[in-house]
Amino acid sequence: MKINGTPYRSVWVNEKDGWSIHIFDQTRLPFSLDILRLTTQQEVAHAIRTMQVRGAPLIGAVAAYGLALALRQDASDAAMEQNATMLAATRPTAVNLHWAIDRMLNSLRPVAPADRVAAAYAEAGRICNEDAAQNEAIGRHGLELIREIAKNRPAGTQINLLTHCNAGWIATVDWGTALAPIYMAHDEGLNVHVWVDETRPRNQGAALTAWELGSHGVPHTVIADNAGGHLMQHGKVDLVIVGTDRVTRTGDVANKIGTYLKALAAQDNKVPFWVALPSTTIDWSVANGVTEIPIEERAASEITHVAGRDENGKQTRVQITPDGSPAANPAFDVTPARLVTGLITERGVCPATEEGLRSLFPEQ
């Protein structure tokens, strides 16, 4: 996607040295667009853990480059396996991270250590290109759903979408998952407007989705997380569309905490609830999302404190809870398949069922 007219991806190799990795520091957005240079696997692991990079597909792609950086230091079998395990442990819920590390290992194990660095950069590059292409395809399939709504309305009627967290281009290598159809709808002149859940505790909606949509000129309104149900009751949401960190083969959807409540409200108000994902987000080994998907528990300080900018423009964190009040911070929840209208993948849309997914991915 473009920033001030210049096309960017969310991760790229430094053109001059040919090996260090660049990302945007997402903890600084929306106030500052800082490009970070990562030179070691430890820096990559730190960036993932602290959410300088985040979003399921992007952490997979960045971790793949993290393994390439590790191999520059030591390309032996033992070091490669150890660094892969370390990188895979940085965040537990998004299956794309584990998928990317497994794919790297499967392609690198048969390669002689002397040739592994070049092979690792090539494989990580392919992962990035495929992610960008898959998300673009998701955009085209999701666009059909928005066109369908537009078709049944007087020309130019506003179409109101609601999204949770950030599943935009900076959560992927390019395009985004949930936001890709929205960008395409806006670009072809459909009158889309997006309700953006702020997404406490880390506010990825308020900080990142609002920044992305605003940069692209897409009309949007940031709302408190608890406002979605009310808006749906009053007919102000035509379609909910979210991304996901892991989808079971049966169609259960793990996504940012609060997604489940949106799905319940959508069901009660007969608002379609769609989930956009590349196939790298499907965990074919899991049948029951509620009992089997590991849910990341993050620091209590993300609940007790809020990050923002003060009146002098300085980025700061302020405490919002009494001293000593305990806080719990489960970072994801699971929306059961029965609440999901359908899944949007790079191969098309399907019901959130095992049959639906297998009809699109019969090779699994």
Binding-site residues for substrate, in ranges, read 54-56, 91, 204, 255-256
Count of residues engaged in binding ligand MRU, rule: CB under 6 A: 18
Handedness of CA 248, 68, 58, 110 (dihedral sign): negative
Site string for ligand MRU, 175-194 (x = CB under 6 A): -xx-----------------
How far apart are alpha carbons 225 and 229 in whole angstroms?
9
Per-residue mark of binding to ligand MRU, 309-338 (x: CB under 6 A): ----------------------x-------
Nearer to ligand MRU, 55 or 181 (CB): 55
Q: Which is nearer to ligand MRU, 185 or 344 (CB)?
A: 344
How far is the C-alpha of 104 from the C-alpha of 87, rounded, in Å? 12
- Round to whole Å and give the CA distance between 107 and 116: 10
Could you tell me the two tokens for 341?
A: 């209208």
Catalytic residues: 245
Distance CA 345, CA 40 (A): 33
53 vs 108 by CB, closer to ligand MRU? 53
Determine the angle formed by the axes of helices 116-151 and 95-108, rounding to 10 degrees.
140
33 three-state secondary structure: coil
Min dist. Cβ of residue 322 to ligand MRU (A): 26
204 binds ligand MRU (CB under 6 A): yes
**Interacting residues of 36 by C-beta distance below 8 A, sequence separation 6+:** 22, 23, 24, 25, 47, 52
Tell me: does residue 139 bind ligand MRU (CB under 6 A).
Answer: no
* H or E segment and range at residue 262: helix 259-268
Residue number, 107 or 215, with CB nearest to ligand MRU: 215
Q: List the helix and strand counts (H, then E) for the chain.
A: 13, 18
Q: Give the residue nearest to ligand MRU (CB).
A: 243
Touching ligand MRU, residues 25-84 (CB under 6 A)? 54-57
Q: Residues annotated as binding site?
A: 54-56, 91, 204, 255-256
- Which residues of the shown chain bind ligand MRU in the complex (CB under 6 A)? 54-57, 94, 165, 167, 171-172, 176-177, 204, 243-245, 255-256, 331
